[in-house]
Amino acid sequence: MAAVTHDQIQAHHPGPTGLMRWLTTTNHKDIGTLYMIFSFIMFLSGGVMALTIRAELFQPGLQVVQPEFFNQLTTMHGLVMVFGAIMPAFVGFANWMIPLMIGASDMAFARMNNWSFWLLPPAAILLLGSFFVPGGASAAGWTLYAPLSVQMGMGMDMAIFAIHIMGISSIMGAINIVVTVLNMRAPGMTLMKMPMFCWTWLITAYLLIAVMPVLAGAVTMILTDRHFGTSFFNAAGGGDPVMYQHIFWFFGHPEVYIMILPAFGIVSHIIPAFARKPLFGYASMVYATASIAILSFAVWAHHMFATGMPAAGQLFFMYATMLIAVPTGVKVFNWVATMWRGAMSFETPMLWATGFIFVFTIGGFTGLICAIAPIDIQVQDTYYVVAHFHYVLVAGSLFALFAAAYYWLPKWTGRMPSERLGKLHFWCSMVFFNITFFPMHFLGLAGMPRRIPDYALQFADFNAMASVGAFGFGLSQLIFIAVVLKCARGSGERAAARAWEGAEGLEWTVPSPAPHHTFEEAPVVK
């Protein structure tokens, strides 16, 4: 990707070259590229941690790592994947695509855009570097529950500062997206004509602005409890450990939708493009997205059914959580109705999008089962929950990200991605994903807790199976590197401006690869 845009910058924008070009860039396409490279590196780092976890769990007994380091791995795997891989990847897509989709020349705050990206590498260094300090990385789980997180070594402080920095980056990114979407749309593009990806990101950005400060507050309270003698979460000083969970999940549940709503947007572009038929219910998709976002603020305590809240509290959060199934169902029905009587073809992006609907919906169903408070009492903190959230985060967010990458690679690089490699990547990921995570439902139901380095003998078979699947899944991701490098090097079939036959939207009206500067004069949307 770099090589392609490089030529253009030389041609009509003599600026710094080499490393300085990337450090000082204010171009939304460059910054989008940086975000995506960063998130992929973090994805691989988090993946290595996951594979170490799976290696330890391959058979009963302790073989590969000791319990303390195992807990560090589960904690850091979660933090790295959520804050380092999935969230920045979506911001990368927003940077690249939102200006192209709404006919804007760049993001509204181009310099802040540079800053919000370049905050991330120091945060990542703090986070990953914490493995090497005395006491190692934080081992309190990615949720950092007090008082366990108060017991940790200095790795915990590094994680807290990393979260602060990444939070600032996310908030700036979100403000940029809100302002860009609301102010810089091409003449004629009313809100209800806006591409779905822009809609879902607009709503996601509001969620980010609302909840990232809450997380920052929660981890700051841990920091002061650790070092400055406060007792926010210490009963002996008048505090309450459960209050941390309320604050954390008030952030944490909207966070879940921050990671999935842009994915919904992506799929809502790809399905119509390859079904060659308009999205069935554009307006109802917008309303469903908004409903999910609003409901997400009223369901946080379903993560806490086992803390022992009063019956009225359990019932309220159970009902509210169940309600989320309604707008989510509307979305799935809409995609299926869009496919119905289309003229479909299954190039790689469509395969990923269809796979997304299928596997994400399984995660949706287990989510509904978890929502039922009495059942949740049995499955909370077991592998059932691990299976559930990997079905929505890997098969949901990650599969949608791959769908989007294959869909827009031609626009970025000017080359069509290899169909052969792309399909191999999809089928390997799909098969190994299910080998890894489907048995975890059984493990959780049968009673295996999560976050344990060793387990009772009846869980051995499914754990071995999950470990084999995990290594297969991890290795499959290397295929993606090959696909991207091939396109970036300029080999493969040249892409037309409209790279896919049924693709709609302003991004397909500019040449492929997109020139360094696009829409310097705004297009007019009818």
Partner 1 sequence: MERASRITGALLAAGAAWPVSAQETPARYNLQAPVTGIAEQINDMHTLMLVICLIIFIGVFGVMFWAVFNHRKSRGAVAANFHENTAVEIAWTIIPILILLGMAWPATRTVIEMKDTSNPDITVKATGYQWKWGYDYLQGEGEGIRFLSSLSTPREQIEGGAPKGEAYLLEVDKPLVVPVGKKVRVLLTANDVIHSWWVPAFGVKQDAIPGFIRDTWFRADKEGVYRGNCAELCGRDHGFMPIEVHVVSAEKYTEWVRQQQAATAGVEQASLAPQPPAL
Nearest to 407 by CA among 473, 329, 354: 354
Cis peptide leading into 511, omega within 30 of 0? no
Q: Which of 200, 268, 338, 348 is catalytic?
A: 268
Which listed residue (3, 294, 456, 481) binds partner 1 by CB under 8 A? 456
Its sign, for the CA torsion 508, 512, 513, 519, is negative
Minimum Å gap between C-beta 328 and partner 1 is 9
Does 135 engage in binding with partner 1 (CB under 8 A)?
A: no
CB-wise, 8 or 231, nearer to partner 1?
231
Q: How far apart are CA 220 and CA 503, in angstroms?
A: 46
Catalytic site residue 170?
yes
Tokens 């991890």 sit on residue: 474
If binding means CB under 8 A, how many residues of this protein chain bind partner 1? 89
Q: Please state the length of the chain.
A: 526
Compute the least distance from the CB of residue 115 to partner 1, in Å: 35
With respect to partner 1, which residue has the nearer C-beta, 31 or 49?
49
- 338 or 429: whose CB is closer to partner 1? 338
Alpha-carbon distance of 119 to 121, in angstroms, equals 6
Contacts of 77 (CB under 8 A, 6+ apart): 46, 49, 50, 53, 142
Site for partner 1 in 71-110 (CB under 8 A): 71
Which positions from 381 through 420 interact with partner 1, judged by CB under 8 A?
Answer: 381-382
Concerning whether 253 is annotated as a catalytic residue, the answer is: yes
Is residue 140 part of the contact set for partner 1 (CB under 8 A)?
yes
Rg (CA), the chain: 23
Tell me which stretch binds partner 1 (CB under 8 A): 211-219, 366-374, 393-401, 413-421.
366-374
Residue 273's contacts (CB-CB under 8 Å, 6 or more residues apart) are: 349, 350, 407, 500, 502, 503, 504
Q: Which of 8, 95, 25, 102 is nearest to 413 (CA)?
A: 8
User: One of 75, 328, 361, 436 is an active-site residue; which one?
Assistant: 328
Q: Indicate which single residue of 188, 278, 490, 511 sits in contact with partner 1 (rule: CB under 8 A).
A: 278
- Structure-derived torsion over alpha carbons of residues 174, 179, 185, 187, reported in degrees to the nearest 10: 170
Active-site residue, selected from the candidate residues 116, 130, 169, 476? 169
Q: CB of residue 26 vs partner 1: minimum separation in angstroms?
A: 39
- To the query of whether residue 77 is one of the catalytic residues in this protein, the response is yes
331 is catalytic: yes
10: which 2 tokens? 């030389």
Decide if 268 is catalytic. yes
Alpha helix segments (H runs only) across 228-278: 241-275
Residue type, 194: M
CB 453 within 8 A of CB 59: no
* Given 331, 390, 425, 441, the catalytic residue: 331
Residue span binding partner 1 (CB under 8 A) among the ranges 7-15, 165-173, 281-289, 503-511: 281-289
| Shorter beta-carbon distance to partner 1: residue 168 or 452 | 452
Q: What is the DSSP string of 31-83?
A: HHHHHHHHHHHHHHHHHHHHHHHHHHTTSSS--SS-HHHHHHHHHHHHHIIII
User: Judged by CB under 8 A, which of 41, 175, 290, 372 binds partner 1?
Assistant: 372
Interacting positions 306-365 with partner 1 (CB under 8 A): 306-308, 310-311, 314-315, 318-319, 322-323, 325-326, 329-330, 332-333, 336-346, 354, 357-358, 361-362, 365
Residue 3 token pair: 């090589």
Residues 250-269 that bind partner 1 (CB under 8 A): none
- Per CB under 8 A, the list member of 10, 17, 24, 151 interacting with partner 1 is 151
Among positions 459-498, residues that touch partner 1 (CB under 8 A) are 461
Q: How far is the CB of 360 from partner 1 (least distance, A)?
A: 12
Please tell me whether residue 122 binds partner 1 under the rule CB under 8 A.
no
Binding residues among 179-238 for partner 1 as defined by CB under 8 A: 234-236
Minimum distance, C-beta of residue 152 to partner 1, in the bound complex (Å): 9
Distance CA 46, CA 52 (A): 10
Half-sphere exposure of 484 (CA within 13 A, CB side): 16
Cβ–Cβ < 8 Å for 401, 86 = yes
**Using rule CB under 8 A, residue 300 touches partner 1:** no
- Per rule CB under 8 A, is residue 63 in the interface with partner 1? yes
Q: By C-beta, is 303 or 411 nearer to partner 1?
A: 303
In the range 8-27, which residues lie near partner 1 by CB under 8 A?
A: none
Six token digits for residue 68: 């303390």
Alpha helices by DSSP H, listed for 393-504, are: 399-413, 419-446, 460-488
Q: Which residues are catalytic?
A: 77, 106, 142, 169-170, 253, 255, 257, 268, 302-303, 328, 331, 450
